[in-house]
Amino acid sequence: MAASVETLTERERELRRCLRDLLALSTLPAFWRNRDAVEIADSAAAALVSMIDADFVYLMLPGLRDEPGIEVTRTADETVSASSASIRQATLERLPQQLLDGTAEIPDPLRGGTVRIACAPIGLGGDAVVIAGSSRPDFPTEAQHLILRVGANHVAIAVERWRAEADQRRFSALVERSSDFIGFASPSGMRQYLNPAGLKLVGLASAAEACGLHVLDFVAPEERERVRDELWPLVMREGRWVGELNLRHFQTGASIPFLVDWFRVDDPRTGQPTNIATVSRDLTAQKRAEAELRELAETLEHRVAERASELLETNRQLVAERIEHRRADARLQELQTELFHAARLSAAGQMAAALAHELNQPLTAASNFVNAARRGLAAGDLQRIDSVRKDMDEAVGQVLRAGRIISRLREFATRGETEKQIVSIETMVLEAGALALSGAAVLGVEVRFRFEQEASSAFADQIQIQQVLVNLMRNALEAMEGSRRRELTMTTALLDEKTVQIAVADSGPGLAKDMLDRLSEPFASTKRHGMGLGLSICRSIVEAHGGWIGASENPDGGLTFRFTLPAAARDDDGDVG
CATH code of residue 533: 3.30.565.10
- pLDDT score of 408: 56
Q: 14 and 158 share a domain?
A: yes
What's the pLDDT score for residue 2? 45
3-class SS string, 107-129: ECCCCCCEEEEEEEECCCCCCCE
Q: Are residues 431 and 533 in the same domain?
A: yes
Task: Give me the residues of the chain with pLDDT under 70, please.
Answer: 1-11, 13-15, 21, 24, 64-66, 78-85, 90-102, 124-126, 332-369, 372-373, 375-376, 379-384, 388, 391, 394-418, 438-439, 442, 512-534, 570-577
Question: Please, are residues 215 and 278 in contact by the beta-carbon 8 Å criterion?
Answer: no
pLDDT at 531: 37
Query: What is the rounded radius of gyration, in angstroms, for the C-alpha atoms of the chain?
Result: 60
Dump pLDDT digits (tens) for 462-485: 888 888 888 898 888 888 888 888
Pick from 197, 194, 219: nearest CA to 207: 194
Q: What's the CATH code of the domain at 88?
A: 3.30.450.40
Shared domain check, 234 and 132: no
Are 135 and 202 in the same domain? Answer: no
CA-CA distance, 210 to 247, in Å (whole number)?
14
Of 263, 282, 301, which closes a domain? 282
Residue 150 lies inside a defined structural domain of this protein: yes
Q: Do 107 and 125 fall within a single domain?
A: yes
Work out the percent of the chain whose per-residue pLDDT is above 90: 22
| Cβ neighbours of 418 (radius 10 Å) | 14
Kindly state whether residue 202 falls inside one of the protein's structural domains: yes
Do residues 432 and 463 lie in contact, with contact meaning Cβ atoms separated by under 8 Å? no
Residue 417 CB burial class (10 angstroms; 0-12, 13-18, ≥19)? exposed
Residues 130 and 276 in one domain: no
Is residue 73 a part of any domain in this protein? yes
Last residue within a domain, chosen from 173, 208, 237: 173
Q: Are strands 273-282 and 255-266 parallel, antiparallel or unpaired?
A: antiparallel
- The pLDDT of residue 62 is 80
The answer to whether residue 225 sits within a structural domain is yes
Q: Are residues 245 and 103 in the same domain?
A: no
Strands 487-496 and 549-553: unpaired
pLDDT score of 262: 94
Of residues 174, 163, 144, 150, the one with CA closest to residue 65? 163
In a domain, 70, yes or no: yes
> Residue 552 belongs to what H/E stretch?
strand 549-553
Contact predicate 199/249, CB 8 Å:
no
C-alpha span between 290 and 150 (Å, rounded): 63
Amino acid (1-letter code) at residue 429: V
Ramachandran sector of residue 531 (left: φ over 0; alpha: ψ -120 to 50; beta: rest): alpha
Residue-level pLDDT at 452:
92
In a domain, 541, yes or no: yes
Do 133 and 274 reside in the same domain of the chain?
no
Sheet order of strands, 255-266 included:
191-194, 181-185, 273-282, 255-266, 240-248
> Same domain for 190 and 88?
no
425 to 422, 442, 494: CA distances (angstroms):
9, 27, 11
Structural domain that includes position 79: 2-173
- Residue 36 contacts residue 162 (beta carbons within 8 Å): yes
Dist CA 57 CA 109 (whole Å): 12
Instruction: Give the count of domains, the chain.
Output: 3
Burial of 475 (0-12, 13-18, 19+ CB in 10 A): buried
- Based on the fold, state whether residues 164 and 190 are members of the same structural domain: no
* 152 and 200 co-located in one domain: no
Helix ranges restricted to H, 423-561 = 425-436, 462-479, 513-517, 534-544
User: What DSSP designation does 187 have?
Assistant: T
Type and span of the H or E element at 500: strand 499-505
How far apart (Å, rounded) are the C-alpha atoms in residues 344 and 467?
7
Residue 287 lies in a domain: no
Query: Is the distance from CB of 79 to CB of 63 less than 8 angstroms?
Result: no
Q: Is there a single domain that holds both residue 90 and residue 218?
A: no
Residue ending a domain, among 249, 282, 315, is 282
Q: For residues 41 and 502, what is the distance between their CA atoms, to the nearest angstrom?
A: 105
Domain contains 159:
yes
Answer for the pair 569, 494: CB distance below 8 angstroms, yes or no: no
Integer angstrom CA distances of residue 181 from 256, 270, 312, 321, 467? 12, 29, 53, 65, 93
Residues 123-170 have pLDDT tens digits of 766 678 888 888 888 888 888 888 888 888 888 888 888 888 888 888
> CATH no. for residue 265?
3.30.450.20
